[in-house]
Amino acid sequence: MLETRSGYKSGFISIIGRPNVGKSTFLNRVIGQKIAIMSDKPQTTRNKVQGVLTSTDSQMIFIDTPGIHKPKHKLGDFMLKVAKNTLREVDVILFMVNAEQKLGKGDEFILEMLAGNSTPVFLVINKIDQIHPDELLGIIENYKERYEFAEIIPISALQGNNVESLLDTLSKYLPDGPQYYPADQVTDHPERFIISELIREKVLHLTREEIPHSIAVVIDKIRRDEENNDKIHVSATIMVERDSQKGIVIGKRGALLKEVGTRARKDIEMLLGSKVYLELWVKVQKDWRNKSTHLRDFGFRDDEY
C-alpha cells in the first residue's frame, strides 16, 4: 500500500479540449521530453497518455486525452469515451483552448460535459504568443460568462510562457498523497506504445488528405541484436484502410516510407538510448476504424477505460 507523506502533494490532472489546441505540446513541455506525439492534424492523440512530473514536494500525473469531437466511426466513439472517463478519476481538470480560435460548438459541448462536475476546472488559454495582448481580456470574459472556473491561466505551451506559474497553482489544488511512480519515470506507457506513436507521428507529418486518420501502427517485434548488443531491431506494420492509401504511404520507389523510417528511427534511438534498426511494412486492413476486433488488436481497448 502506498504511504501518504505529510506535506507531499500528489494527484491526477486531465487535459481536455478540442482537437489541435496544443494538449500534447503542453504535456511534452511539462515533462521535458516527447511522450505524446504532435501534429497539425486534428485528433492526433487517440489513447490517453499519462505523463509524470516529480519534484521534491509533489508528483503530478497528467492525462493527455483525445481531442473532443463528434464521433464519425467506432474509433471516434472510443476516443470520446476515453476523454469523458478521465473526468471522473482526476483531482483537477485543465480545459485547454486555443487563443486564436473563437469559442465554438466544440467548446460549448465540453462546457456542457463539465456542468455539475465538482472537480476544480482550470481554463488554460494556450497559444497566447499568437495573439495581441489586448485580445486576451475579451477571451477571458467570454469564457467566464459560461462557466465558473477555479483558475484562468493564459500560457504558450510552445514557448513555455507562464507554464511554471500554472504548475505552481496546480500544486495548491492537489491533496496530500503518496508518490505513485518512481522519481525517474515520466510515463506509464510501455516502450512499444511510444515507439508506435513516434512512427505514426512521422506518417502524419509526411502525408495529407485522408491518410492521417486512416492509419494505425502495430509493433510486430522488438529485440536486441545478439551479436551487437548495442543495437535494437524494431519491426512495425503501418495499417491503412485502402490500397490507394498503401501506395501513398510507400511513396514513389518507396521514398516516403523510407523518410518515415529515417525520422522515426532518430526519435526511437533517443527514447531507447541505443542504435536502432527499424523495419517498416504497410498493410491494408479495410475499414478497420469501424471494426471492434481490429480496434482491440491495434490497442484501442474499451475495458481499459
Nearest to 42 by CA among 23, 14, 27, 29: 23
- Cell (9 digits) for 63: 492525462
Distance CA 264, CA 102 (A): 35
pLDDT of residue 117: 83
- Cell (9 digits) for 224: 536486441
Half-sphere exposure of 161 (CA within 13 A, CB side): 13
196-224 average pLDDT score:
80
| Percent of the chain clearing pLDDT 90 (strictly above) | 43
210-230 average pLDDT score:
76
- Cell (9 digits) for 282: 504497410
Distance CA 169, CA 166 (A): 5
Phi and psi of 248, rounded to 5°? -65, -45
pLDDT at 107 over 50: yes
Q: How confident is the model at residue 224 (pLDDT cuts 50, 70, 90)?
A: confident
Mean pLDDT of the chain: 82
Tens-digit pLDDT profile for residues 234-284: 999 998 888 888 998 999 999 999 999 999 999 888 877 788 999 999 998
Tens-digit pLDDT profile for residues 128-152: 999 999 999 999 999 999 999 999 9
DSSP summary character for residue 103: P
| Contact call for residues 101 and 28 (beta carbons, < 8 A) | no
Strand (E) positions, the chain? 9-16, 49-54, 58-64, 92-98, 121-126, 151-154, 216-224, 231-240, 275-284
pLDDT at 305 over 60: no
Q: How confident is the model at residue 122 (pLDDT cuts 50, 70, 90)?
A: very high
